[in-house]
Chain A
Amino acid sequence: MNKKLSVFLAIVLILSILAGCGNNNTTQNTPTQEPLDIAYYAYNSEPILNWDPSVMFSNGIIILNNTYETLLRFYPDTKEFEHVLATNYEKSEDGMVWTFQLRKGVTFHDGTPFTADAVKFSIERTLEIGQGASYIWDPVEEINVIDDYTVEFRLSYAAPLDQIASSPYAAFIMSPAIKDYPSDWFEAGNEAGTGPYSLENNSMGDEVILTKFNDYWKGWDGEHFDKIIIKKIPETSSRRQMVEKGEADITLQLTPEDIEALKNNDSVKIYVEPSFTNLIAFFNTEKAPLNDINVRQALSYAFPYKDVVDYAAGGYASQSIGAIPKGHWGRGENLFQYSLNLEKAKALLQESGIQQNELKLLLTYMSGDEAERKAAELYKAELSKIGVELEIRAMPWESQWEMAMDPLPENRQDIFIMYWWPDTSNPYSWLYSLFRTEESILFNMSYYSNENFDQLIDLGYEKSGIDIEEAENLFIEAQSILIDEAPAIFIMDKEDVWVTSSSFSGFKYNPSYPNVVFFYDTYRK
């Protein structure tokens, strides 16, 4: 070995590294007949973890809502339904029988024609497996096939079946042919929907590629994308750089600082949209002294709403009014809103006989959530001013939840912070899950129980399918009870900020379908 050799080795090393550099024009000099129009969605988490449309109850809706379709699609701003696989529907006066006329000439990706049997099969399969969001179909007693294109739902109690049928989860219609497929067919990453796009390639938990389904019933006239790439890009700065450079077409969940920096950038478009996610802090109403309404009201007056909106959410949120977020029906615009008022909080605490520095509270939140952490810390600072000590504990969701379900109220937390978003676009989704009396604890983290409230929201739900205005009034009345008795602090309604490349057009966000981009409506211009 000599000097020459070591010099040679060094040169080889440097050259081999440089060989990788050079302009990334690999995609341009490739032998394709016609250029494909490809949309790229840079998503912050796994695009999908479960391909079974009956079971999937998380991120996967961003894929399944492009490969499958539902009978109806709900538009929360107008409270109207788009007829997707159903062309029309009627309900009986008592809201117990619903009849859907189905669209003709629709085929599943596997070639099976779409008929009433498919609807019956899909909903029954979802109910039978009984996982995920299948409970939304609970009111359904039987499904009858009247003829090939008419299907009738008989309910055991009145419920808004149109909203259920347009749910982003568990309402997908799938090909009946799948019953003959092996049981692990979905697990292997397959789909059998009627949607505009079909699955081309899937590497689980990382990347999904969809390609246009040529026989889609709406046809492919006009401008559309041929292929869709949906890829997990967990790092915020990477997502920002990709969309800035035009490598990705659409992304979300950037930091407020990133969004601020991108505002003056012509290569991107920014959409600030209401989301149906709100942040709520639940008081343990079964534990002294939080079982005292005055104490809960005092703690509600000590919350720094504005600071949390400004600093924890970077201004991309607004203070909640009641339990229902901005833009969703059933929100009571005229309901009372607590504001930061430490004098009032002190007075209320004294009224309840609580001395300075006597009250020590434990707050739990999901570890890793920056907005929750900041909100908790801002709250702690305010509470210390009125002599209340707040201990903040970050926990993995599973542990946070398990602690909240401890049989002894004394062993549970005092304040539980979490986000909530709807499974069907109905106020019941919040009011039932979060505040209705529960026999065994599930998501009512205030352990709240009020018979009057329960009756109001049950009636509201029944009326939702019959008279939506009346239902709305009932839900608002129920929320006024919540605000008065203060089992929880309604902190803020989050906003989603979407950033797209400047050529990505046709995007309109529908917050009833969280994080979903309906790619059929989008095109490049």
Chain B
Amino acid sequence: MRNYIIKRLLLGVIVLMGVVVITFFLARVIPSNPAAQWVGPRATQEQIDKATIELGLDQPLYIQFTKYLTDLFKGNLGFSLRTKQPIVNELKTYLPPTIELVIMSTFIAVLVGIPLGLNSAKRKDKALDHFCRFFSVGAVSLPTFWVALFLQLIFFRALNLLPLGGQIDAKLKLIYQIPNYTGFLFLDSLISGNTIIIKDVYRHMLLPAITLSLYPVGLVARMTRSALLEILSEDYIKAARSYGIHEQKVLWLYALKNSLGTTVTVLALSTGYTLVNTFLVEAIFSWPGVGSYIAGAVVSLDYPAIIGVTLFSAFTYIILNLFADIIIALDPRVRV
């Protein structure tokens, strides 16, 4: 087991290195002039020349790359061309809101998706099953931007129940001291114990989290359903039933437990996917997360920022994959 994990970790490092190499050179092949970006629009030639030297862009590409790598090992991802801030600081600002949102949506996915799939499997080909299957196909295939706008129209415009966007009411911010212990706003507000802030932050989170959760909900429900259907036809379930064990217990305890491996794998991968694909949802809900950040960086070809976010998402993918693999490896039926 230990060897397995070490092997996987080493593989992960190799993948990360590949990502660095590819993004670095790809970003440099695209026609653009980072020095001109650094100086700003309408720069003069002298300003651009000066910046070219300052940024080391007059050096050959392989020297620039070695320098980038050495900086990387020191935890320095360079400076954004747009804002001139260290990328590490920018990520510290923009990542927490996204991570919070993704955790929340994963939470909803588990809470809704698993019961949905379970009940669907239990009443196979009955009305409930059809509904659940219809719902999960819809959840996977509805475009998120449409769902987001639709939810806004209902909950903000028509019913006036939930806020339109943002992380917290801007005016509330002027009245209360907004705590900042961890950078994660929801966590911070929980720590502060101020119920008004907790409620407000939570309300702001609901619509974007529900929108984001639709894809994983559908996925989890379908996966749970198909895994359970297979399991339910196995002998040990028949045996359990013939012993007269309560049907709910058979389902929730004996069957579900064995289907969780698939579900967790799917969930881990879809969380990784959600983490880097929040852009549309963030834009519509004015969520100050990493999705909006990377979109801005791509449009202005801010290559240090692009590499920074790419590296982060590659890293997360690897970790989540590893997590899924370990979960599967823990299953005694799987021999490592």
Compute how far the CA of A21 lies from the CA of B205 in the bound complex, rounded to whole angstroms.
11
Counting chain B CB atoms within 10 Å of each CB, the highest count among A38, A238, A397 belongs to A238
B161, A187: Cβ atoms closer than 8 Å? no
Contact status of A238 and B175, CB under 8 A, knowing A20-B206, A23-B160, A187-B85: no
B43 to chain A: closest CB distance in Å? Answer: 8
Residue of A40, A57, A204, A238 touching B42 (CB-CB under 8 A): A57
**A21-57 toward B: CB 8 Å interface, digit per residue (1/0)?**
1111011001010001010100000100110000101
A204, B85: Cβ atoms closer than 8 Å? yes
Name A200's closest neighbour in chain B (CB-CB): B174
Contact status of A398 and B170, CB under 8 A, knowing A1-B248, A247-B164: no
Is B47 close to A, CB under 8 A? yes
Contact status of A227 and B174, CB under 8 A, knowing A23-B160, A26-B200, A205-B288: yes
Taking residues whose C-beta sits less than 8 angstroms from the other chain, chain A's interface range is 35 or more
Compute how far the CA of A3 lies from the CA of B33 in the bound complex, rounded to whole angstroms.
64
Q: Residues of A contacting B160 with CB < 8 Å?
A: 23-24
**A358-372 toward B: CB 8 Å interface, digit per residue (1/0)?**
000000000110000
Q: Residues of B contacting A111 with CB < 8 Å?
A: none
**B113-139 toward A: CB 8 Å interface, digit per residue (1/0)?**
001000000000000000000000000
Contact status of A232 and B112, CB under 8 A, knowing A38-B171, A203-B93, A401-B33: no
Compute how far the CA of A27 lies from the CA of B169 in the bound complex, rounded to whole angstroms.
9
Residue of A38, A231, A241, A399 touching B157 (CB-CB under 8 A): A241
Name A130's closest neighbour in chain B (CB-CB): B47
A206, B288: Cβ atoms closer than 8 Å? yes
Give residues of chain A (173-225) contacting chain B, Cβ–Cβ below 8 Å.
187, 200-201, 203-207, 209
Number of contacts between A and B (CB, 8 Å)? Answer: 172
B45, A20: Cβ atoms closer than 8 Å? no
Name B256's closest neighbour in chain A (CB-CB): A1
B253, A55: Cβ atoms closer than 8 Å? no
Compute how far the CA of A205 lies from the CA of B292 in the bound complex, rounded to whole angstroms.
10
Give residues of chain B (260-297) contacting chain A, Cβ–Cβ below 8 Å.
283-286, 288, 292-293, 296
Is A148 close to B, CB under 8 A? no
Q: Residues of A contacting B43 with CB < 8 Å?
A: 131, 442
Counting chain A CB atoms within 10 Å of each CB, the highest count among B42, B44, B296 belongs to B42
Q: Residues of B contacting A235 with CB < 8 Å?
A: 165, 283-286
A83 to chain B: closest CB distance in Å? Answer: 28
Contact status of A238 and B286, CB under 8 A, knowing A26-B200, A57-B41: yes
Is A92 close to B, CB under 8 A? no
Compute how far the CA of A227 lies from the CA of B166 in the bound complex, rounded to whole angstroms.
19
Compute how far the CA of A40 lies from the CA of B85 in the bound complex, rounded to whole angstroms.
27
B334 to chain A: closest CB distance in Å? Answer: 25
Residue of A9, A26, A229, A231 touching B115 (CB-CB under 8 A): A9
Give residues of chain A (383-406) contacting chain B, Cβ–Cβ below 8 Å.
396-399, 401-403, 405
A396, B162: Cβ atoms closer than 8 Å? no
Is B8 close to A, CB under 8 A? no
Q: Residues of A contacting B288 with CB < 8 Å?
A: 203, 205-207, 232
Compute how far the CA of A202 lies from the CA of B166 in the bound complex, rounded to whole angstroms.
15
B300 to chain A: closest CB distance in Å? Answer: 7
B174, A21: Cβ atoms closer than 8 Å? no
Residue of B40, B149, B156, B157 touching A131 (CB-CB under 8 A): B40
Compute how far the CA of A32 lies from the CA of B286 in the bound complex, rounded to whole angstroms.
28
Compute how far the CA of A442 lies from the CA of B39 in the bound complex, rounded to whole angstroms.
13
A38, B174: Cβ atoms closer than 8 Å? yes
Compute how far the CA of A297 lies from the CA of B23 in the bound complex, rounded to whole angstroms.
45
Contact status of A27 and B175, CB under 8 A, knowing A49-B83, A205-B83, A237-B149: yes
B174, A135: Cβ atoms closer than 8 Å? no
Residue of B246, B252, B286 touching A233 (CB-CB under 8 A): B286
Q: Residues of A contacting B284 with CB < 8 Å?
A: 235, 237-238
Compute how far the CA of A238 lies from the CA of B170 in the bound complex, rounded to whole angstroms.
15
A263 to chain B: closest CB distance in Å? Answer: 18
Is A443 close to B, CB under 8 A? yes
B169, A187: Cβ atoms closer than 8 Å? no
Is A433 close to B, CB under 8 A? yes
Name A203's closest neighbour in chain B (CB-CB): B288
Residue of B50, B90, B156, B173 touching A241 (CB-CB under 8 A): B156
Give residues of chain A (375-423) contacting chain B, Cβ–Cβ below 8 Å.
396-399, 401-403, 405, 423
Name A441's closest neighbour in chain B (CB-CB): B45
**B16-55 toward A: CB 8 Å interface, digit per residue (1/0)?**
0000000000000011110011011111110100100000
B203, A24: Cβ atoms closer than 8 Å? yes
Compute how far the CA of A152 lies from the CA of B96 in the bound complex, rounded to whole angstroms.
51
Is A17 close to B, CB under 8 A? yes
Is A242 close to B, CB under 8 A? yes
Q: Residues of B contacting A231 with CB < 8 Å?
A: 166, 170, 286
Is A133 close to B, CB under 8 A? yes
Q: Residues of A contacting B155 with CB < 8 Å?
A: 21
B171, A229: Cβ atoms closer than 8 Å? yes
Compute how far the CA of A22 lies from the CA of B203 in the bound complex, rounded to whole angstroms.
9
Compute how far the CA of A326 lies from the CA of B93 in the bound complex, rounded to whole angstroms.
42
Is A132 close to B, CB under 8 A? yes
Compute how far the CA of A8 lies from the CA of B71 in the bound complex, rounded to whole angstroms.
53
Contact status of A13 and B111, CB under 8 A, knowing A38-B171, A57-B40: yes
A30, B301: Cβ atoms closer than 8 Å? no
Contact status of A58 and B40, CB under 8 A, knowing A234-B283, A241-B164: yes
Compute how far the CA of A72 lies from the CA of B175 in the bound complex, rounded to whole angstroms.
36
Name B112's closest neighbour in chain A (CB-CB): A13
Q: Residues of B contacting A40 with CB < 8 Å?
A: 170-171
Name B200's closest neighbour in chain A (CB-CB): A26
B321 to chain A: closest CB distance in Å? Answer: 29
A71 to chain B: closest CB distance in Å? Answer: 22
B42, A242: Cβ atoms closer than 8 Å? no
Compute how far the CA of A433 lies from the CA of B115 in the bound complex, rounded to whole angstroms.
65
B42, A423: Cβ atoms closer than 8 Å? yes
B257 to chain A: closest CB distance in Å? Answer: 11
Contact status of A131 and B39, CB under 8 A, knowing A24-B163, A399-B301: yes
A30, B162: Cβ atoms closer than 8 Å? no
Is A481 close to B, CB under 8 A? no
Q: Which 8 A-B pairs rank lowest in CB-CB distance, beginning with the nearest?
A: A398-B32, A206-B288, A402-B31, A1-B252, A21-B161, A20-B203, A398-B301, A57-B40
Q: List 10 A-B contacts (CB under 8 A).
A: A30-B175, A58-B41, A135-B44, A227-B174, A232-B288, A237-B152, A241-B156, A398-B31, A433-B42, A442-B45
With A21-B162, A209-B170, A235-B283 given, can you name 8 additional A-B contacts, CB distance below 8 Å? Answer: A24-B162, A50-B84, A57-B40, A133-B42, A207-B288, A237-B152, A238-B164, A398-B37
